[in-house]
Copies of this chain bind each other. A is one copy, B any other.
């Protein structure tokens, strides 16, 4: 272990002992990627598997942050601790404050039983999904029993991140059926619990009927979990208890029928595949630059070399 690795091991020991500054530094290393992120990931990996992860996703404006804040309050009223990872691929801010960096969660900023962190990235969206998985594992490894992962948008990356949870909560609003078409199918497919948030507005019953109708069209086996539908008002906290109960029911169900373990295994397998793909992509980017790349491109443009033999030549001797 070199000195850098032993610094990281110290940070991890401190974070495991409850040092939030150390935890924040480790999360920043994960966010930045590279060798340090790998060192963190390797330290953390064997200690994981105890925490439970709830993904919260839905269209922008559905009130996810407010609902998450209400959920935090409910979890705290049960005397349990909770971590929140807010993922925003479109935000230009990376790294960032540990606590209170999201205005709607300010109420919890001074609560030692709540840890809130934003993750974002300017580019490399594929990388954010891996970074989010590593961040969730770090929180798990330092003893977070409940981690809420809130994604801001409903794009492919956000859905991919949200579905990497043990329970996936999809937040909709009354009238949702008519308005938001964006990636609706993707959201329906991943939901374990539907929340009709802003349920103080008209149209809740219709939205519930719409969701139930869509669920009836799905082909659930007898023993499989059938997504539940809960109504909430995030701003008042109404329904946060019912939402938490629905999450607990889903957890119990999937623990008992073995589907939680299967889902977690599948998640790890997928992650390995993604890591391998990313490495090969990185290798492709490394290959496609420099003098040799320029020379071969020129041969291609002169038509003294065809594209396939040019690719052969560039790939010759690569070991990834």
Residues of chain A having any CB pair with chain B under 8 Å: 38, 41-42, 45-46, 48-49, 265, 268-269, 271-273, 275-277, 279-281, 283-284, 287-288, 296-297, 300-301, 303, 306-311, 314-320
Does B315 lie within 8 Å of A276, measured CB to CB?
Answer: yes
CB distance from A221 to the nearest CB of B (A): 24
26 contacts between A and B (CB under 8 A): A41-B306, A42-B306, A42-B308, A48-B303, A49-B303, A268-B301, A269-B300, A271-B307, A272-B288, A272-B296, A272-B307, A272-B314, A275-B308, A275-B310, A276-B284, A276-B288, A276-B311, A276-B315, A277-B284, A279-B315, A280-B280, A280-B281, A280-B283, A283-B320, A315-B320, A317-B319
Cβ distance A282 to chain B, nearest Cβ, rounded Å? 10
Cα–Cα, bound, A276→B313 (Å): 10
Whether the pair B315, A45 counts as a contact (CB closer than 8 A) is no
Number of identical monomers bound together in the oligomeric complex: 2
Q: Are A314 and B42 in contact, with the CB atoms below 8 A?
A: no
Given A265-B301, A272-B310, 7 extra CB contacts under 8 A: A41-B307, A45-B303, A48-B303, A275-B311, A276-B287, A316-B319, A320-B320
Q: Are B320 and A318 in contact (CB under 8 A)?
A: yes
CB–CB B297/A272 < 8 A: yes
Contact partner, A272, options B45, B276, B283, B311, Cβ 8 Å = B311
Distance in angstroms between the alpha carbons of A83 and B303 in the assembled complex: 24
| Chain B: minimal CB distance from A137 (Å) | 10
| A271 to chain B: closest residue by CB | B307
Main secondary structure of the interface of A (DSSP, over half): helix
A269 engages B297 (CB within 8 Å): yes
Contacts of A272 in B (CB 8 A): 288, 296-297, 300, 307, 310-311, 314
Complex A-B, nearest 4 residue pairs according to Cβ-Cβ distance, in ascending order:
A45-B306, A280-B280, A275-B311, A315-B320
Q: CA separation between A46 and B281, bound complex, in Å?
A: 29
**Inter-subunit contact B269/A46 (CB<8 Å):** no
Contact of B46 with A308 in the complex, beta carbons under 8 Å: no
- How many whole Å from A160's CB to the nearest CB in chain B? 16
Residues of B within 8 A of A297 (CB): 268-269, 272
Give complex CA distance A46, B45 in Å. Answer: 53
The smallest beta-carbon distance between A152 and chain B, in angstroms, is: 21
Q: Is the CB of A280 within 8 A of B284?
A: yes
